[in-house]
Chain A
Amino acid sequence: MQVSNKLTPFFENLNFERDDNTMVINFGPQHPSAHGQLRLILELDGEQVVKATPDIGYLHRGIEKMAENMTYNEFLPTTDRLDYIASTSNNYAYALAVEKLLDIEAPRRAQAIRTMLLELNRIISHLFFVATHALDVGAMSVFLYAFREREFAMDLMEDYCGARLTHSAVRIGGVPLDLPAGWLENAAAFCDKVDYEVEHTYGALLNENRIWKMRLEDVGVISAEDALSWGCTGPMLRGSGVKWDIRKEEPYELYPELDFDIPTSDRCDSYGRFMIYMEEMKQSTRIIRQLIPLYKETEPQLMAHSPQYISAPKEEIMTQNYALMQHFVLVTQGMRPPKGEVYVPTESPKGELGFYIKSEGEPYAYRLKCRAPSFFHTGLLQNLLVGTYLADVVTIIGTTNIVFGEVDR
């Protein structure tokens, strides 16, 4: 323990007096590069990290506990607060898990809208990644440009559901609203804009930038075997050369009908992952463009027809007695899915976001476990940081793209 006096003041974050000549640094939980509330206890030998201990839990809200005390529909807006950078992907993963449990399928128009929103959220999340990662490493201007486009994407989300950050844009069994007039044209224009900017702004600023490559190349190297063992998914896994994307391998919604590529990289380092994020944004715009004609061919039904679990459309509730009765029961008591358990994985922008739901036939889930990609990527840090230099720590935290809403839950 330090004894502080005027000559040796108390350093809150440093501990020098160790026998083995290493220094312990307390990184976070309020560090601006910690992407939220990450506390890292770093043991340094000179500037090299000898041991890293991630300490999490500063944003714990007990979301899994709340799920056991809320009906299935009540819980949906709470899932916004998991990965708050791309809320719709959480809403969707949860809604899909409950739909699998109920054995219902959303109508085709809802599927088209959901797929578009998911890809839009992927772009929002990836733009956020590029912006903050560049900012962490020291490239300020990319942050300004990327956040400009992110605003446009959030405007699109706002046009659809009225919210910019916590969307709740998906319901169990479908979507609550149809796309407003002119949304598709705006989305198409936005796709053109993103494609242009990825190529000519962020790409031009970063891809071949000498400093950027020096800071990212061969930093945070993880082999494919390690990545699998540590539970890495999404761009972290694809960055190690494993071509695994749940949208292709275990497809859901309209993904089987769409034509898109899965970018991978054999570099296994931060630069490879950065290039994957850049390429995925282009693939997402490609998906949205393909969905525009698909959407136009669909019937206008938005919610699945399953009177036992899903309320009828508002017109029916207001005109038909039986629909009103069922709506009343579903609102006051909540739906009661059959007894059983389900685990449904989806490809969120960060990786595999899965919901495990154990139902005992009650209106409240008996157990809900959210498999958050960032949780396992945070665990990986204790392996990834060892042997690297202090200057690279921020780059490596950035490249894992962790969001503490879903780490701590």
Chain B
Amino acid sequence: MRKYVPKDNVQKKAYYTDRFHVVPSVPRAEVTDAHFASVVTALGNDVKEAYIEIGQLVVHIDPTRNFDVMKTLKETCGYTQCSEQSAVDYLAKDNEFELFWQLLNITEAKRVRVVCRLANGAAIESIEPLFKSANFAEREMFDMFGIKVNNHPYLKRIIMPDDWEGHPLLKTYPLHGDEFASWYEVDKIFGKEYRDIIGPENRDPGKVDIKDTKRFSRIGYEVPFGAEYNADEEVPVEYSETALVNYNKKTSKQLDERR
């Protein structure tokens, strides 16, 4: 029987995990710092959970309240810069995204991470009116995860081409690209009618095309550049004999196909 491969997360996984392996957690400390305590107080009822993880305050909020929380953090608590924002894909486990905003207070030299869980298909409010850096960051989040952002001035793909299908950082998206990706450049450059002639794009860096006579892939056989591939006429390369190893004797194991 064919081995079952889960489709909801096609990223690489550990090939072996000890049966008794216990995953430890990074310690989460209570909010004791005076500044961070004042931040938690300022946010009031919006805080679902607050703790300190590796020196930074982490605040969990409701996804509908993100704009108000950012506004309070900016105007009351002095967090004037949004360093980074993005998402983490938890669709396979919870059918949710985890969004985070990394904020910086330059007078106190403190950082806060605001975290929320957003259901699949739901949209988040843009914080672009508060932090202009969100303009690019939210576009990137939309491009990479397909998370819609309400009231963004120009929500368009930023890194992938405009006519791209799929969102590359989803766990369901394979590392070497999907079916659409393998035909994208062929369709774009040559046209759909050339699909049969050219074939899908192969992004495997270790691929060796046996019929290719234009690149350095005819290992062991010499063919004039660009010659027609003909297996009958192949003449193996003869190496000069050495005292130690006979390279002409093909004794070593050769893999027929890549694992």
A interface, CB within 8 angstroms of B: 56-57, 60, 62, 64-66, 68-70, 100-101, 103, 225-226, 228-231, 233, 242, 244, 249-250, 333-334, 336, 338-345, 352, 354, 356, 358, 360-364, 366-367, 369, 371, 375-376, 378-380, 382-383, 408-409
Interface SS of chain B:
loop
Q: Is the CB of B14 within 8 A of A65?
A: no
Q: Is the CB of B133 within 8 A of A333?
A: no
**Which of B28, B82, B86, B88 interacts with A366 by CB under 8 Å?**
B88
Residue of B nearest to A54 (CB): B136
Residue of B nearest to A58 (CB): B159
Contacts A333-B16, A371-B84, A379-B132 known; 7 new A-B pairs at CB < 8 A: A60-B159, A339-B23, A339-B26, A356-B102, A364-B11, A379-B136, A383-B132
Residue of A nearest to B24 (CB): A338
A128 to chain B, nearest CB (A): 24
Residue of B nearest to A366 (CB): B88
B residues within 8 A CB of A366?
88
**Which of B26, B88, B168, B175 interacts with A342 by CB under 8 Å?**
B26
10 contacts between A and B (CB under 8 A): A57-B160, A64-B144, A101-B54, A231-B131, A367-B89, A371-B84, A375-B136, A376-B133, A376-B137, A408-B159
Q: Is the CB of B88 within 8 A of A358?
A: yes
With A69-B175, A101-B54, A249-B109 as given contacts, are A362 and B132 in contact (CB-CB < 8 Å)? no
With A57-B159, A408-B159 as given contacts, are A362 and B83 in contact (CB-CB < 8 Å)? no
A62 to chain B, nearest CB (A): 6
Residue of B nearest to A230 (CB): B132
B55 to chain A, nearest CB (A): 8
Q: Which of B23, B84, B106 has the most CB of A within 10 A?
A: B84
Q: Is the CB of A341 within 8 A of B23?
A: no
Q: Is the CB of B84 within 8 A of A343?
A: yes
Q: Is the CB of B135 within 8 A of A228?
A: no
A residues within 8 A CB of B132?
226, 229-231, 379-380, 383
Q: Is the CB of B15 within 8 A of A333?
A: yes
B residues within 8 A CB of A369?
84, 86
**How distant is the Cα of A59 from the Cα of B113 in the complex, in angstroms?**
29
A residues within 8 A CB of B16?
333
Q: Is the CB of B26 within 8 A of A101?
A: yes
Instruction: Indicate with 1 or 0, residue by residue over B93-115, a CB within 8 angstroms of chain A CB atoms.
Output: 00000001010001001010100
Q: Is the CB of B11 within 8 A of A69?
A: yes
Q: Is the CB of B13 within 8 A of A64?
A: no
List residues of B (167-213) whose CB comes within 8 Å of A's CBs: 168-169, 173, 175
A residues within 8 A CB of B137?
231, 376
A residues within 8 A CB of B168?
62, 65
